[in-house]
Amino acid sequence: MKIGVLTGGGDCPGLNAVIRAVVRKSIQDGHSVIGLKNGWKGLLEKNYMNLTLDSVSGILHRGGTILGSSRTNVYKTEGGEKKAIASIKELELDALVAIGGEDTLGVAAKLHKAGVNVVGVPKTIDNDLNATDYTFGFDTAVNVATEAIDRIHTTAESHNRVGVVEVMGRHAGWIAIHSGMAGGADVILIPEKPFDIDEVCDILKKRHARGKTFSIVCVAEGAQPKDGTMVLSRLEKDSFGHVMLGGIGNVIAEEIEKRTGFETRATVLGHIQRGGSPTAYDRVLGTRFGVKAAELVFEGKFGMMAALKGDKIVAVSLDEAVGELKTVDDELYEVAKTFFG
């Protein structure tokens, strides 16, 4: 078989581990692999590179993706579906392995319904893909955010400040809840739970009344005040219709300082969470996903995605994976609230 591999959407640590695993497993079983450059854009433009054992050697520990990525949406491109199918025929591909999050795999699910042989691998630092316990990239992002919170702790304590740390998370607060708990944040704000800034300030005032001279607030970029407004850095949308978020940490810091009188500083982690080498966990998880994806191709189980269930890698349908977002559950948030203030 001739198999095409692509990585779409936001980059994250562990992508190269998946690419390497797909290539190693495929070649071992007598198949060839090409890498489509820059996500779905590479398929539409027939821009690719041959993937050999040499080309995937030494990439396991590297962050990002050797194939490049983009937010190109086949279904927002004029004649995109027909172009994609024509490219697959011209490149003589027997199957596609799409590595990505909700948007990339959403396109994969539609293409499968159009007759394309495609399987998926769940990638997102946000951990918001349904039908899998964890996505690769999430563990690395949480570790980066936790280390940042640890570092903010020491400087906040030294200067008697409130430190606001903004992490990624558009609609799901998995990074915020995990890194906030791991880093001992005193308040955690997530998209699933609209917040009242007065309640936040009351918690901080009570801490200071108990003799604490500093506090840490961890906020997801998509967190919203109870009136439902969002803080946006700009109003442009990407090709999948998502508004560019960012900046709520700075607004919250200003409000806290104004309402409490406590000196407050904001730190926006942004793409730092997506960069750098993957953790050992993400390297292993990405490798297991890649091998499973290759096996699904060999077995002709298209329209499926490799997923983690407990400690097993299993196959689930792409439709189930992208049917709805996986958001933070009440039980986990209640555990976190135990330590607020």
Average pLDDT of the segment spanning 210-221: 94
Catalytic residue selected from 11, 29, 103, 126: 126
pLDDT tens sequence across 218-252: 999 999 998 754 454 545 665 555 555 668 999 99
Return the HEC string of 165-185.
EEECCCCCCHHHHHHHHHHCC
Going by DSSP bridges, is the β-strand pair 2-7/95-100 parallel, antiparallel, or unpaired? parallel
- Contact between residue 192 and residue 172 where contact means Cβ atoms under 8 Å apart: yes
- Contact between residue 44 and residue 8 where contact means Cβ atoms under 8 Å apart: no
126 flagged as catalytic: yes
Residue 61 φ/ψ, nearest 5 degrees: -90, -5
Domains, the chain, ordered by start: 2-137+278-322 (3.40.50.450), 139-274 (3.40.50.460)
pLDDT given at position 227: 76
Band of residue 340 on the pLDDT scale cut at 50, 70, 90: confident
Band of residue 10 on the pLDDT scale cut at 50, 70, 90: confident
Reply yes or no on whether the pLDDT at 120 is more than 80. Answer: yes
Q: What angle do CA 9, 60, 20 make, to 5 degrees?
A: 70
- Contact between residue 116 and residue 88 where contact means Cβ atoms under 8 Å apart: yes
Dig out the tokens for 277 from the structure. 């080498």
CA distance 123 to 104: 9
What strands, in cross-sheet order, belong to the sheet with 48-51?
48-51, 32-36, 2-7, 95-100, 118-122, 304-309, 312-317
pLDDT tens sequence across 280-335: 999 999 999 999 999 999 999 999 999 999 999 999 999 999 989 999 999 999 99
Angle between helical axes of 102-113 and 80-90 (0-180°, round to 10):
80
Scanning the structure block, which residue is given the tokens 């997506």? 274
Four-point Cα dihedral 32, 55, 71, 229, nearest 10? 120
